[in-house]
Structure formats: C-alpha cells, structure tokens
Amino acid sequence: MSFLLGLTGSIGMGKSTTAAMFAEAGIPVWDADAAVHRLYQPGGRGARVVAGLFPAAMEGDGSVSRPKLRALLRADPSALDRLNAAIHPLIAEDRAEFLRQHLAAPVVVLDIPLLFETGLDASCDAVAVVTAPAEMQRDRVLSRGMSDADLALILARQLPDAEKRARADYIIPTTSLEAARAAVKDVLADIDRRTRQNA
C-alpha cells in the first residue's frame, strides 16, 4: 500500500514547481489541475459537461476556454458550485485510476489545490503545504496574466494560508528553489523513516 502524501497550497505558492521536484525524485504525482486540463480537451468528458452548463465558455474546437470560463465564474460566483458538482466526480475517477496504476509505489503524491476544502486530506497519510509570503504570491499570480479580481475570487474559495500551514504535517517554503528542494528531500526522508517504523 502506497503512502499517500497530499500536496496543497494556495494559488501562486509554488505548488507545481514543488510537485515537479517530487516527480524528479521518482515519486508518482497525480496533478488535479492536469486532470482538469485533460477533461477540458476537445471531446473530453469535462468539455461535454461544461458545454452543457456554460456554452459561452467553449472554443470552436470543442475545448473549454479557461479565460472565458473564468470570466463567467467571476460574473456569477454561484456558477462555481454548479461547475464543481459536475466536474469533481470526473476528477475523482481520474485520481482513482492513477492510484490503481501505482499500487506498488512506496509513496504517491496527490497534488490537489483544494485538498482541505474538499475534505480529501482525510484520505491522505500526511499533508505537505507549500507556502510563500503574500506579496510574493501576488506577484507570481499577476505575472501569469491574472488580475487582482481573479486572485481575490480564487482566494475567497480557499482556506487562508495560515490555516493550511496549521493543519499541515509538513511545510515547504518556496521562497527559493533551494529552500523548496531541501524541504522536499526532508519530507521524503521523514516519510521513509515513518514507513520503516510501521513496517
């Protein structure tokens, strides 16, 4: 049975970069955002769902336009609940299939932005939270072309960083690549120690 490590953190905290570090260490990583991206491709099950709910969010090729969808959600925040209710079951199926494919892996990372918010932390053996100062977070998000309004909308749906850190088993600072890499190494060493003790 794999040790399931939940990896989470608010937008712009460096979670994707940190997830890549776990992958470089040979750890299978399931990426919730990547799963959504696959589902939103032309012909994808998620694209068909979004087309039914929000036709204006679709591209001509049948894929979901993330900017158009974001604009719709910003105009009608209640739309996010309808979207999540339709898409989350598809994401859960994708995650379950990934875990079936990696049953033999000693450690598996589940990279999930809304880990605590969706209660999925209860399914994990431990949780690592990536964190950085708020101003660094804002700079990273705005550099992606998002607006302060986009950031505010997303943060309103996420637990505050301080609360995530308080609930974490491990905290990974992403103020620099070196700090994050050292923390990832420490996390994996501690998981190895814990699993050996429980063997």
CATH number of the domain enclosing 164: 3.40.50.300
Give the pLDDT score at 150: 79
**Residue range 157-197, pLDDT digits in tens:** 889 999 999 999 999 999 999 999 999 999 999 999 999 88
Measured CA to CA, the distance from residue 90 to residue 140 in angstroms comes to: 29
Average pLDDT, the chain: 93
Residue 133 and residue 187 in one domain: yes
Of 64, 79, 101, which marks where a domain is finished? 101
Decide if 63 contacts 42 (C-beta within 8 A).
yes
Are 90 and 108 within 8 A, CB to CB?
Answer: no
Distance of CA 86 to the CA centre of its chain: 18
Q: How far apart are CA 32 and CA 120, in angstroms?
A: 12
Domain boundary among 76, 101, 126: 101
Going edge to edge, which strands form the sheet with 170-173? Answer: 29-31, 107-111, 3-8, 126-131, 170-173
- Do 180 and 21 meet the contact criterion of CB atoms below 8 Å apart? yes
The whole domain housing 137 covers 1-28+104-199
Strand partners, 188: none
Which of 101, 125, 143 delimits the end of a domain?
Answer: 101
